[in-house]
Amino acid sequence: MTAKGLPGFRDFAPEDFALRAHIFGVWRDVAARYGFEEYDGPPLEPLELYTAKSGDEIVGQLYHFVDKGDRQVALRPEMTPTLARMVAARANGLKKPIRWFSIPQLFRYERQQRGRLREHFQLNCDLIGEAGPLADAEIIALSIDMMRGFGLGSHDVRVRVSDRRFVSAMLADLGVPEENTPAVFHAIDRVEKDPLATRTLLAEIVDPNLVDQVMELTDPANRSALFARVTTTSPLGATLAALEQMGLGDWIDFDPTIVRGLAYYTGTVFELFDAKRTLRAICGGGRYDTLLNSLGGADLPALGFGMGDVVLGELLKDRGLHPALPPSIDVFVASVTPDDVSHVLRTAHELRTAGIRVEYAMNANAVGKQLNLANTRGARIAVVIGPDDRAKGEVQLKDLVNKTQEGIPASSLVSRLSSLFPKSSNG
């Protein structure tokens, strides 16, 4: 029997959970500002949901097995196929465009490294039923506002954008046959990490005379010429113009080497990276206009993104933007003698009923020891109940931050502390 967890799977002690709760909180707040509604699906799905459309990379990373009913099943490695299935099944009844978000835990058998684990939580925001370039701008703006929600700016995070339609057209102009485009995308996807590998892969796919020309498409020296062309010939031009109008233009870098690893993307594709490029992608997404049709027979254009909690958490910690562990209580109630304990119990319960976060000592420790615990928990106030004060109908109110103390009528305690700790601050 081993007491160790599995590699690539995390434990969330309270200080880790505080960061996770902070990330989820910002995700939910910003998604709400864009009118997105939260949904979820099952963590276990039929294996074929992924083998059909996600592409080889993700299929190679699946946690899959045969269940007791002889079904081939897989833990979800991404949310998009589940979403496509769910929306396709009820497409007629939903008002378009559909704006849905979810925060699933996903599972991929990846080689564990910084920013890559075998489980992660991934915010998914998808806009379904709108084919125009403003939908692309809306989704990219949402991903940027997520970053702004964490206190990150355009000097911290860059959005690299391209368009598979544009790159496909460039490849067609060069004479690359259409059926080879997915393999060329796969080769281009590796160019930043390993340009030589891209060259080798291309040589296996396209005419040897074309390898240099395809490589030129990925060369940063040609970027501004390609950018001029994309803005006039592809819908991405209108998307980028809309982002300018929103005041978000300085976050964006046009980058034709962004093609995305997943097979189902059909148009705009984008990824968010930390500006220093020390981490892996924070977020990735794009347009997938044919997936709903192929998974559920609903002919609806769609796009969206996935943003993981792992790289984002690393970045927030690097920048000092992660939250401190919040105090777990507002008030500690202490007893002076064993005879006071029943009064402590009643008082603690009244305060809790009023929505205040309260703890008390469960054994007969000296008051000093009880107050030590109060400080460790981050309590702002201690209420000390003793026989002398009780005889006067009073309790002692200690402000542990300002180090002040006063006797107050026991009958006024709840209202006094309720005004100090309004419900919304209990967080």
Number of residues lying near ligand HAM (CB under 6 A): 24
Question: CA–CA separation, 195 vs 217, rounded Å?
Answer: 12
Tokens representing 241?
């113009």
The verdict on 283 binding ligand HAM (CB under 6 A) reads: yes
The verdict on 146 binding ligand HAM (CB under 6 A) reads: no
Beta carbon of residue 80, minimum distance to ligand HAM (angstroms, whole number) = 4
- Cβ atoms of residues 248 and 144 within 8 Å: yes
Backbone angles phi, psi at 163, to 5 degrees: -145, 115
Cβ-based neighbour number of residue 28 at 10 Å: 15
Beta carbon of residue 4, minimum distance to ligand HAM (angstroms, whole number) = 20
For tokens 């592809």, the residue is 234
Backbone angles phi, psi at 372, to 5 degrees: -60, -45
Beta 98-102 vs 37-38: how paired, if at all? parallel
The verdict on 23 binding ligand HAM (CB under 6 A) reads: no
Question: CA–CA separation, 316 vs 326, rounded Å?
Answer: 17
Cβ-based neighbour number of residue 286 at 10 Å: 27
The verdict on 226 binding ligand HAM (CB under 6 A) reads: no
The verdict on 267 binding ligand HAM (CB under 6 A) reads: no
Question: CA–CA separation, 63 vs 42, rounded Å?
Answer: 15
Tokens representing 34?
């864009």
Angle, helices 133-149 vs 236-245, to 10°: value is 40
- If the CB atoms of residues 133 and 386 are measured against ligand HAM, the closer one turns out to be 133
For tokens 């615990």, the residue is 373
The verdict on 332 binding ligand HAM (CB under 6 A) reads: no
In the bound state, the residue with its beta carbon closest to ligand HAM is: 308
Beta carbon of residue 252, minimum distance to ligand HAM (angstroms, whole number) = 17
Stretch that binds ligand HAM, among 65-73, 306-314, 401-409, 410-418 (CB under 6 A): 306-314
- If the CB atoms of residues 253 and 350 are measured against ligand HAM, the closer one turns out to be 253
Question: CA–CA separation, 184 vs 189, rounded Å?
Answer: 9
- Cβ atoms of residues 167 and 269 within 8 Å: no
- If the CB atoms of residues 83 and 230 are measured against ligand HAM, the closer one turns out to be 83
Beta 105-107 vs 119-128: how paired, if at all? antiparallel
- If the CB atoms of residues 122 and 347 are measured against ligand HAM, the closer one turns out to be 122
- If the CB atoms of residues 87 and 117 are measured against ligand HAM, the closer one turns out to be 117
- If the CB atoms of residues 63 and 227 are measured against ligand HAM, the closer one turns out to be 63
Beta carbon of residue 56, minimum distance to ligand HAM (angstroms, whole number) = 13
The verdict on 255 binding ligand HAM (CB under 6 A) reads: no
What is the rounded radius of gyration, in angstroms, for the C-alpha atoms of the chain? Answer: 28
Q: Identify residue 49 by its one-letter amino acid code.
A: L
Query: Per-residue contact track with ligand HAM, 74 to 113, x per CB under 6 A?
Result: ----xxx---------------------------x-x---
Residue 306: name the closest of 134, 101, 113 by CA. 101
The verdict on 53 binding ligand HAM (CB under 6 A) reads: no
For tokens 């590998």, the residue is 197
Question: CA–CA separation, 36 vs 233, rounded Å?
Answer: 31
Enumerate residues 117-136 that contact ligand HAM by CB under 6 A: 117, 120, 122, 124, 126
The verdict on 186 binding ligand HAM (CB under 6 A) reads: no
- If the CB atoms of residues 311 and 381 are measured against ligand HAM, the closer one turns out to be 311
Q: Which of 251, 305, 332, 421 binds ligand HAM (CB under 6 A)?
A: 305
The verdict on 192 binding ligand HAM (CB under 6 A) reads: no
Q: Which of 142, 152, 310, 334 binds ligand HAM (CB under 6 A)?
A: 310
Task: Give, in order, the Cα–Cα distances in Å from 208 to each of 192, 193, 355.
Answer: 21, 22, 72
- If the CB atoms of residues 164 and 380 are measured against ligand HAM, the closer one turns out to be 164
Stretch that binds ligand HAM, among 63-71, 146-154, 308-316, 394-402 (CB under 6 A): 308-316
Question: CA–CA separation, 116 vs 308, rounded Å?
Answer: 10
Beta carbon of residue 79, minimum distance to ligand HAM (angstroms, whole number) = 6
Binding site for ligand HAM (CB under 6 A): 78-80, 108, 110, 116-117, 120, 122, 124, 126, 262, 281-285, 304-308, 310-311
